[in-house]
Amino acid sequence: MRKVRLLAVLSVFALSSLLFADQVVLSNGDRLTGTITKSDGKTLVIKTDLAGDVTVPWTAVQSLTSAAPLHVATATKTVVGPVTTTDGSLAVSTTPGGPVDVPKAEVTALRNAAEQAAYEKSLHPTLLQGWNGGANIGFALTGGNSETKNLAIAFTADRKTSHDEIALYVNTIYATNDAAGATPSVTANATQGGARYDRNLSKRLFAYGSADFQTDALQNLNLRSVLGGGLGFHAIATDRTTLDFLGGLNYTKENYVGLDRNFAALTLGEELKHKLGASTVLAEKLYFFPDLNDTSEFRGTFNIGTITKISKWLGWQNAFGDIYVTNPPAGKKQNDLQLTTGINVSFTH
């Protein structure tokens, strides 16, 4: 008798959990039970008790039922309420307006209460919220037949919202040859840093303003300041790949040892980011700065690197950079190359 009562109680609890859980039925007949969290119109995420977050293609969803209200968005409206699926449409039981049918093909987003709150917060973040970035550190030391030290440090930070983006960067490299009689004893001493602000004008077009600064002791460059702005175009914008083209004007001020130059120049560039597999990201930038006062003179920069994630916050980075100047001071070379490798420590705020 006790076993019968126990089975009856367990059956009631099991039935209650099903009644108060969301359900998703896939086109192949599979059924998922849990809590529907979000969809972007391409995939749907449901949090299950045993498997955690499960992501399925939106096109593979045959029907769904939610016990709690969901925010269902289309290109023109958002309706809120518990959802069921009938005849290829989502029936949203709004209050007090009654059921509203939304064609499944027109759904651009679907969120539960927690995801909707996070989405609304992301629309108007404070200046200290939404930052992602990291620091790259590389160090080499030799002794015995050679006496050298090499230190490379870089920092990047990026804050991206639905309408704008702020990017910051600093990198520096310092190297010495401490062997007796070595000339020069300092073999590298260069620092770069800057910031850029992008403002979306449309889905593809954006305006930008930038400020970049550089010093290079071995090229006798005390300071190069470049202030610019212009327009950019998002040629590719997917989860795996982004490709931007930029064009504009800048004002360059260069102070070398015994030489000052000020001139206006064009800014022509492209920036690429691409995910190589699940853990590696490749980033590449190429820029040309033709001098408007003398079109035979220009400066070019090229940077490429990879970061491979080892853990959530730790990775391995490799970076190569080249700065080319057509008219360096007398006795100095036109190219400055940098190749660094080391660990990457990332952060999110």
Per-residue pLDDT reduced to its tens digit, 79-121 = 999 999 877 889 998 877 778 899 988 999 999 999 998 888 7
Q: Which residues of 74-102 are buried (b: 16+ CB within 10 A; e: fewer)?
A: beeeebbbbbebeeebbbbbeeeeeebeb
The pTM is what? 0.70
DSSP structure string for 171-213: EEEEEEE-STT-SSSEEEEEEEEEEEEEEESSSSEEEEEEEEE
Calculate what percentage of the chain has a pLDDT beyond 70.
Answer: 93
Distance CA 101, CA 119 (A): 23
The pLDDT, as a whole number, for residue 329 is 85
The pLDDT, as a whole number, for residue 33 is 93
H or E segment to which residue 18 belongs: helix 2-19
Question: What backbone phi and psi angles, to 5 degrees, belong to 13?
Answer: -65, -45
- Does the structure show a pLDDT above 70 at 179? yes
Contact call for residues 231 and 245 (beta carbons, < 8 A): no
Task: Give the chain's domains with CATH numbers.
Answer: 2-121 (no CATH), 131-348 (2.40.160.40)
In single-letter form, the type of residue at position 309 comes to K
Contact call for residues 18 and 33 (beta carbons, < 8 A): yes
**Helix count and strand count (H, E) for the chain:** 2, 23
